[in-house]
Structure 1
Amino acid sequence: MPDDEEALTLGQLYASVRSRLADDGVPEPDSSARHIAATAAGCGAADVVAAPRTPMTVRMVAHADAMAARRKAGEPLQYVLGSWGFRKLDLATDRRALIPRPETETVAGIAVEWLAAQVRSGRLRTPNVADLGTGCGAIALSVAYEVPGARVFATDSSPDALALTGENMAGVGWAAARVSLHHGDWFDALVDVPAPTSVSPALSGALAGHSDGTEPPSPSGSQELRERLDVIVANPPYVADDEELPDEVADWEPHDALYAGVDGLADLRRILCEARGWLAPGGLLVLECAPHQAADLAAAADARGYEAVRIERDLAGRDRAIVAQRPLDEPGSAVIDAAMSSLRNGGFIVAPTDTLCGVLARYANSEAVAAVCSAKERPPTEPMPILVSGLTQAADLVELSRGARRLAGRHWPGGLTLVAQRRGGPDPLHGLSTLGVRAPALGWLRWLIDEIGPLTGTSANRHGAATPADAQQAAESLAVAPAAVIGGRAAGGTASTVVDVTGAEPVVLREGAVPAELLTLAVEAEH
């Protein structure tokens, strides 16, 4: 080291570190050197250029040397510096959690902007938000800091990551009072966590909490968070187990926060499925994913009965997040769970469907389907339509050409029934080699089907009689009582258009909700 009269300046320190990193082949040596010099000097990175003559102390130079050595060894710059900026926050970073990245800033921004709009409009005042797999707390703390009044439940399966989030909470001031940390695996961490009595999702029509919407809500409520989360946001692991990552990532960042099964979708699928029952009516789900996973996740969200499903891009223009909402007006989770239980146990149920009240039974359970025939007093040799959650379930049941898939892609969910060749031979009850399959428009019904499997869906009446519009009356009109009834009235309307897709060209068997000209356009587009 030179003596005090020959002390390095900030500009010289930067140049020295940059030269060493470049000689050692460190990626982006300019950026690393600028941040290292600024951190050692206790100033901003811009000051390296703005004030290059600032003298450095021996301790500053030693600190820079130590950081440069760590960077040369391959340690990520964010860990070397010990902190990194994320939106409006400066967060402590180390190997206990993933490095906060620009892609995740986009994800956090989607949640923040939606919440802010809901609060401004008065639809929400003190929203409940869950950040699943919070890591260093980047998303959770950004939401709390940027959305006054938001109560944030941050979860992680790693105690070390939660400890890092706890350290970062000090940097958000009073907003930290509205953040609570919960250890556990995804939604398991929130089981039995009480929802604040003063916080209720305005989107579900209940009363909101504090008058000014800025005080931290009381944690003393007795109602659990299920169906009371206005936003669920997560940046879960989404790297396939055999995918190669840069050494800087694979050797330094926590593997449990990176890898998620053979296709990288294990955790994303679980969150997507379970969030359906944790969101408040009208609540928003935001999931970060890899660009190549976005389309499959969007289709899965649609099949799960979410609405307004869309793919959002990051600042680099790559597909980066799936955004979806729980429909505002639908039966509660407890009602859906009871219906699922009845169907799993071999019973059939009655519920309002897209246009009329229907009798629903698991198609895989021949005895349950036969019981529906008995309840309707109709011969089992007459086929019944099969309700599926989406194209994936349909393709498991019937053979669909590319043209048939295009039709489904354009008109599902909704009023289009496709008659196609049944996989595995004739149906065991009606003996025909074809099935009519349809994805219903009602989100809650697709949710149920996605969980249970394809259902037979036929009108809730005795054979030849009119179908009552009220589900309870429809159930009472049957010859055999159903295992459960989802109450309400059918919306009415036009029955589905039925199209035979077993041949080279689709043939309309029954005019209905989808006009024939729209089907023709889809076929022409195919050719």
Structure 2
Amino acid sequence: MNARNSLRLEMAKLEDNSENTLTLAQLHREVLERLRAAHIGDAELSARRILEETTGVDVGQFPAEESHLMNQRMVARTDALTARRAAGEPLQYVIGSWGFRYLDLAVDRRALIPRPETEEVVGRAVEILTSKDQSFGKKALIADLGTGTGAIALSIAQEVPDAHLHATDISDEALSLARSNLAGLGRAAARVQLHEGDWLNALPEGLKGQLDMVISNPPYIPLDYQLPAVVGDWEPTDALFGGEDGFRHLDLLVREGRQWLRPGGWLILECGSDQGVRLENLLTARGYCETEINLDMSGKQRFVTARRPIDDVDELQLEGAFDALQRGLLVVAPTDTLPGVLAKYDNSSAVKSSYTAKDRPSDQPVPVLVSGIEQAEQLIHLDDEVRSLVAAHWPGALTVVARRLSGVDPVTGGSTVGVRCPEPGWLRLLIDDVGPVTGSSANLHGVETQLAAEDAAATLAVKAAFVIPGVSKGGLASTVVDTTGESLRVLRDGAVDLGQGQ
């Protein structure tokens, strides 16, 4: 029995017992019967938690206290809470507080009820923040977006001594509840700041590019999903539904979160059990690395972790490259192994210019770089087998030769194209914004390629409009697999070992 409940019980025993009418066991049976009659699924749990709240008797002490007489105040409060639960109100709201990891949080209809699955999300965040493999300096800067009760932010502040939290919510009512919970956090409360506003827009501008972690449990339920009444009739719908397909807020946080993270910073997003793969693919396309789908205690996809690459390219460099490619000009940039000459693949003049720049024979097709699986599926045919293959090795040194969905190559006239998703995150981000680009090495045909992008660009017959500086690491070329036949066929061995089976 905790100290609070023990005090309640002792005070109750001192009260006038003249109006005591029921024992704890009798009151428990009455509550249980009412809840079962109302078809409450967790009637036993609800009955015990209600009685624990109203009588001060800890659940573990029920057998020893069954003969304890209830006074009028206990019976009246039990009756009121039982009526609310029988009407379908969630047990957490009826009680008014609920445990979340090591905290006892106030909960009510102003915010979503914290779930056990979210405790697992916080657990992974704490693991990352306290790992010896991570370097966060003197303090870790973390943003908790859509904080609700404050469960995520307050838990991290309590469990990670050097963490400084910025928690946002668009609802002033939710923030009021979070503020109440913050007041009970103790000394760790000094390291938590609350901000009212829409997602990242609520954060101080000075945090942009400085955050070690962005974490969120955003609304991710599709609009047409039929929620159980105990959820849909009581909890705030704005905290539940994430647009028509449930992905609206997840998409926004992935796209906008990257610029708020420092290089090497982490993004952690809770999601629906059928959204993990889609979310991981989006993170890949938007230039994140180390993406991982994490399962909850029931084995379902529940949240995805990812990082902003440590070797990220400056945004001004990306803007310059984007502008040049959009205008149909050539860009030279360091890629996985060698600097590449990039041209927008849907601009036939630009592609032809890349051939001229390399003095490349027109009958030799060039590889095309894509940001990820979804962009590839807009260009080529991927059956289930090939999709599984690229999912296992992209981003990385695997080129698949596949049939185009429509049209022919602008130079060779062929109906197939070799497609690869590059390793550098900034390059995937650029390609996701501008569209697929050619990815052949930046050198004259038959001449060794220089590893430094500036040196490689200087060897071309056509001057590149923009050069992203940097030095490629060299190494093995990509493995090339032909997917157009009845079975997969390796055309060139390379960095990816597909084994005997393929």
- TM-score, normalised relative to structure 2: 0.89
Does the CA-based 8 Å contact 2:338-2:472 persist in structure 1? yes
Q: 1:262 aligns to what? A: 244
Q: Secondary structure at the match of 2:131?
A: helix
Matched, 1:156 2:207: no
* 1:144-223 to 2 correspondences below 5 Å: 144-190=157-203, 193-194=204-205
Q: Give the superposed CA RMSD.
A: 2.5
Q: 1:219 aligns to what? A: none
Q: Secondary structure at the match of 1:358?
A: strand
Does the CA-based 8 Å contact 1:227-1:333 persist in structure 2? no
Q: 1:521 aligns to what? A: 501
Q: 1:68 aligns to what? A: 82
Rounded to whole Å, the distance in 1 between the matches of 2:461 and 2:286 is 32
Q: 1:399 aligns to what? A: 381
Matched, 1:320 2:333: no
Rounded to whole Å, the distance in 2 between the matches of 1:121 and 1:505 is 43
Percent identity reads 51
Matched, 1:329 2:311: yes
Rounded to whole Å, the distance in 2 between the matches of 1:487 and 1:43 is 69
User: Of 81, 86, 91, which residue of structure 1 is paired with 2:100?
Assistant: 86
Matched, 1:384 2:384: no
Rounded to whole Å, the distance in 1 between the matches of 2:45 and 2:129 is 34
* 1:36-75 to 2 correspondences below 5 Å: 36-42=50-56, 44-75=58-89
Deviation for aligned residue 1:509: 3.2
Rounded to whole Å, the distance in 1 between the matches of 2:292 and 2:359 is 44
The alpha-carbon distance between structure 1 residues 40 and 344, as it changes in their structure 2 partners (threshold 3 A), is farther
The alpha-carbon distance between structure 1 residues 178 and 345, as it changes in their structure 2 partners (threshold 3 A), is farther
Q: 1:494 aligns to what? A: 476
Instruction: Report the residue type matching 1:106 in the other structure.
Output: E
Instruction: Report the residue type matching 1:494 in the other structure.
Output: L
Q: Which segments of 5 or more consecutive residues in structure 1 lack a partner in the other structure? A: 195-223, 523-527
Rounded to whole Å, the distance in 2 between the matches of 1:325 and 1:113 is 15
Rounded to whole Å, the distance in 1 between the matches of 2:341 and 2:446 is 15
Q: 2:272 aligns to what? A: 290
- TM-score, normalised relative to structure 1: 0.85
Rounded to whole Å, the distance in 2 between the matches of 1:244 and 1:88 is 32
Q: Deviations over 1:418-445 (max 9, x none)?
A: 2221121212343222211111122332
Q: Deviations over 1:309-350 (max 9, x none)?
A: 222222233221212223323324454344334434544322
Q: 1:127 aligns to what? A: 140
The alpha-carbon distance between structure 1 residues 103 and 334, as it changes in their structure 2 partners (threshold 3 A), is farther
Deviation for aligned residue 1:378: 4.4
Q: 1:221 aligns to what? A: none
The range that moved more, 492-501 or 398-407, is 398-407
The alpha-carbon distance between structure 1 residues 299 and 14, as it changes in their structure 2 partners (threshold 3 A), is same
Rounded to whole Å, the distance in 2 between the matches of 1:451 and 1:81 is 49
Does the CA-based 8 Å contact 2:57-2:65 persist in structure 1? no
Q: Secondary structure at the match of 1:6?
A: coil
Deviation for aligned residue 1:42: 4.4
Deviation for aligned residue 1:361: 2.5
Instruction: Report the residue type matching 2:46 in the other structure.
Output: S
Instruction: Report the residue type matching 1:18 in the other structure.
Output: L
User: Of 17, 31, 44, which residue of structure 2 is paired with 1:17?
Assistant: 31
Instruction: Report the residue type matching 2:501 in the other structure.
Output: L
Rounded to whole Å, the distance in 2 between the matches of 1:361 and 1:278 is 29
Rounded to whole Å, the distance in 2 between the matches of 1:42 and 1:344 is 69
Does the CA-based 8 Å contact 1:90-1:171 persist in structure 2? no
The alpha-carbon distance between structure 1 residues 240 and 374, as it changes in their structure 2 partners (threshold 3 A), is same
Q: Secondary structure at the match of 1:242?
A: coil
Does the CA-based 8 Å contact 2:20-2:72 persist in structure 1? no
How many residues are matched? 487
User: Of 105, 119, 123, which residue of structure 2 is paired with 1:105?
Assistant: 119
* 1:345-494 to 2 correspondences below 5 Å: 345-378=327-360, 382-494=364-476
Q: Deviations over 1:156-192 (max 9, x none)?
A: 22222122111111111121111112223222222xx
The alpha-carbon distance between structure 1 residues 122 and 427, as it changes in their structure 2 partners (threshold 3 A), is closer
Rounded to whole Å, the distance in 1 between the matches of 2:321 and 2:180 is 45
Does the CA-based 8 Å contact 1:37-1:48 persist in structure 2? no
Q: Deviations over 1:368-410 (max 9, x none)?
A: 3344344445466653210012222222111234443343234
The range that moved more, 339-348 or 314-323, is 339-348
The alpha-carbon distance between structure 1 residues 4 and 124, as it changes in their structure 2 partners (threshold 3 A), is farther
Q: Secondary structure at the match of 2:214?
A: strand
Rounded to whole Å, the distance in 2 between the matches of 1:307 and 1:225 is 21
Rounded to whole Å, the distance in 2 between the matches of 1:238 and 1:121 is 30
Matched, 1:95 2:109: yes
Rounded to whole Å, the distance in 2 between the matches of 1:410 and 1:419 is 16
Deviation for aligned residue 1:511: 3.5
Instruction: Report the residue type matching 2:268 in the other structure.
Output: V
Rounded to whole Å, the distance in 2 between the matches of 1:128 and 1:259 is 28
Q: Which segments of 5 or more consecutive residues in structure 2 lack a partner in the other structure? A: 1-15
Rounded to whole Å, the distance in 2 between the matches of 1:519 and 1:348 is 37
Deviation for aligned residue 1:302: 3.3
The range that moved more, 32-41 or 71-80, is 32-41
Deviation for aligned residue 1:415: 1.9
The alpha-carbon distance between structure 1 residues 448 and 4, as it changes in their structure 2 partners (threshold 3 A), is farther
Deviation for aligned residue 1:93: 0.9
